[in-house]
A = this chain, B = another copy of it.
Amino acid sequence: MTTTPGTPGTPGAPAPRTTWVDGAAGSGFDVDHLPYGVFARSGERPRVAVRIGDQVLDLSVVAAADMVDTHALFDQPTLNPFMAAGPAVWDSVRAWVTGLLTDETERDLVEPALAPVDSVTMLMPFEVGDYVDFYASEHHASNVGRMFRPDSEPLLPNWKNLPVGYHGRSGTVVVSGTDVVRPCGQRKAPADDLPTYGPSQRLDIEAELGFVVGVPSAMGERVATADFARHTFGVVGLNDWSARDIQAWEYVPLGPFLGKSFATTVSAWVTPLAALSAAWTELPGQDDPPVLDYLEVDGPAGLDIDIEVVLDGEVVARPPYRTMYWSPAQMLAHTTVNGASLRTGDLWGSGTVSGTERDQRGSLLELSWGGKEPFTAAGRERTFLEDGDEVTLRYSAPGALGGRITLGEVTGRVLPAR
């Protein structure tokens, strides 16, 4: 039997308190959240920050001023050194930051290191090692199966035995706010004899959650589900942009390649696992078939995170992460069960999050049922993405203070093909 760390009561998690920072109390960025990111101001080198309310707290400045022994971890252009430092450091930094932001006597120390989030540029928060994308929503996988293989069982035989996943392109993982150029490539309609080259006509999004590895593992080693929180630093929002026409033509037999590799967007803010202590929830169920031993989890291994898919300012779907079949701890254990090593910065996506209802589907492919059932957003009929469309994914979860925390959003605009 294994236990799932990251559940309420994680050792070292600070007790909830009240912040003195104006406007932060009760916001999605109160002291029960404290996500990390990397920011830059013109003429200054990038540094690590934590977000409180509508402000960024420059950790490199405040850690040096407070003579914190880990201050060098924050005067860095990525979170990787801090992420690699491991859970004891993550916990002590979180406790220290919580103290700074809740103890009014620290105001003189902290205030010079605060800046409005609108006054800085948020950068890609970590250097990505390997990027793996899973397919962990039963409703998403079933919807896709129904569309693409209407005469067969929607789920393939392996789907409930293992979290199906594949490697994506880590070099094209970009930070929220980056424009996405419509990709070109080969696509072939079933009625055509030969493929043609041109801009994708079925450009799509996939609303996912991403998980970021902090502590590496050695080749030949396996990471048990119970060791999830020892290796996983935190969570990002993730949009797995997809060109369905390119993907449909290329993907047999070795899987998606150019239909995905042009861009994957992650949020600028990484929510540490400690901020999700109130969000753990039971998985929907894995009894038929039961999972193999190495995939067993004990206790609440799912996450109760709400997602909103916003297209040109209008919410078009609300995928519920709690409906996901496979847990993040299972995805990590599966990734390493063959002895594959982990590196700091490895990123895995959950796969598209889709619930049972039409307005809970996390892709336009599903929302428009393969383009056959247009839906309305911002006053217009929609199927796939049009040039100029802006997509934003918003995420929220129960916080430890009784309200909700706002995870890093993911936004991007579609530019015409070049």
Q: CB-nearest residue of chain B relative to A134?
A: B254
Cα distance, A193 to B135, chains bound together (Å) = 23
- The verdict on A257 contacting B185 (CB below 8 Å), with A195-B161, A252-B156, A252-B158 known, is no
Q: How large is the interface on A (under 10, 10 to 19, 20 to 34, 35 or more residues)?
A: 35 or more
Which of A83-91, A231-239, A287-295 binds B?
A: A287-295
Q: Is the CB of A312 closer than 8 A to any CB of chain B?
A: no
Cα distance, A342 to B171, chains bound together (Å) = 7
Contacts of A197 in B (CB 8 A): 292-294, 337
Q: CB-nearest residue of chain B relative to A351?
A: B254
CB pair A341–B158 under 8 Å, yes or no, is no
Q: Is the CB of A186 closer than 8 A to any CB of chain B?
A: yes
CB pair A186–B171 under 8 Å, yes or no, is no
Contacts of A219 in B (CB 8 A): 172, 174, 181, 262-263
Cα distance, A292 to B292, chains bound together (Å) = 46
Which residues, 156 to 201 on A, are CB-close (under 8 Å) to B? 156-158, 161-162, 164-172, 174, 181, 183-186, 188, 194-197
Contacts of A166 in B (CB 8 A): 166-167, 254-257
CB pair A338–B167 under 8 Å, yes or no, is no
Q: Is the CB of A140 closer than 8 A to any CB of chain B?
A: no
Q: Is the CB of A370 closer than 8 A to any CB of chain B?
A: no
Q: Is the CB of A339 closer than 8 A to any CB of chain B?
A: yes
CB pair A338–B294 under 8 Å, yes or no, is no
Cα distance, A106 to B380, chains bound together (Å) = 75
Q: CB-nearest residue of chain B relative to A172?
A: B340
Copies per complex? 2
Q: Is the CB of A418 closer than 8 A to any CB of chain B?
A: yes
Contacts of A170 in B (CB 8 A): 129-130, 170
Contacts of A130 in B (CB 8 A): 169-171
Q: Is the CB of A305 closer than 8 A to any CB of chain B?
A: no
CB pair B255–A254 under 8 Å, yes or no, is yes
Which of A8-16, A35-43, A242-250, A269-277 binds B?
A: A242-250
Cα distance, A335 to B168, chains bound together (Å) = 12
Q: Is the CB of A318 closer than 8 A to any CB of chain B?
A: no
CB pair B257–A161 under 8 Å, yes or no, is no
Contacts of A246 in B (CB 8 A): 338
Contacts of A294 in B (CB 8 A): 197
CB pair B337–A185 under 8 Å, yes or no, is yes
Cα distance, A46 to B86, chains bound together (Å) = 28
Q: Is the CB of A402 closer than 8 A to any CB of chain B?
A: no
The 8 Å CB contact of A340, one of B220, B262, B334, is: B262
CB pair A167–B164 under 8 Å, yes or no, is no
Q: Is the CB of A251 closer than 8 A to any CB of chain B?
A: yes
Cα distance, A408 to B220, chains bound together (Å) = 25
- The verdict on A251 contacting B258 (CB below 8 Å), with A162-B186, A172-B340 known, is no
CB pair B251–A255 under 8 Å, yes or no, is yes
User: Which 5 pairs show the lowest CB-CB distances between chains A and B?
Assistant: A255-B255, A183-B338, A167-B167, A166-B254, A258-B338
A residues near B (Cβ < 8 Å) are 129-130, 132-133, 135, 156-158, 161-162, 164-172, 174, 181, 183-186, 188, 194-197, 219-220, 222, 243, 246, 249-259, 261-263, 289, 292-294, 334-335, 337-343, 346, 418
Residue pairs across A and B with Cβ atoms less than 8 A apart, 14 shown, are A156-B253, A158-B252, A161-B188, A161-B195, A162-B195, A164-B254, A166-B254, A167-B169, A171-B341, A172-B340, A181-B219, A251-B254, A251-B255, A258-B334
Given A164-B253, A171-B342, 5 more A-B residue pairs with CB atoms under 8 Å apart are A157-B188, A166-B256, A194-B289, A255-B256, A262-B338
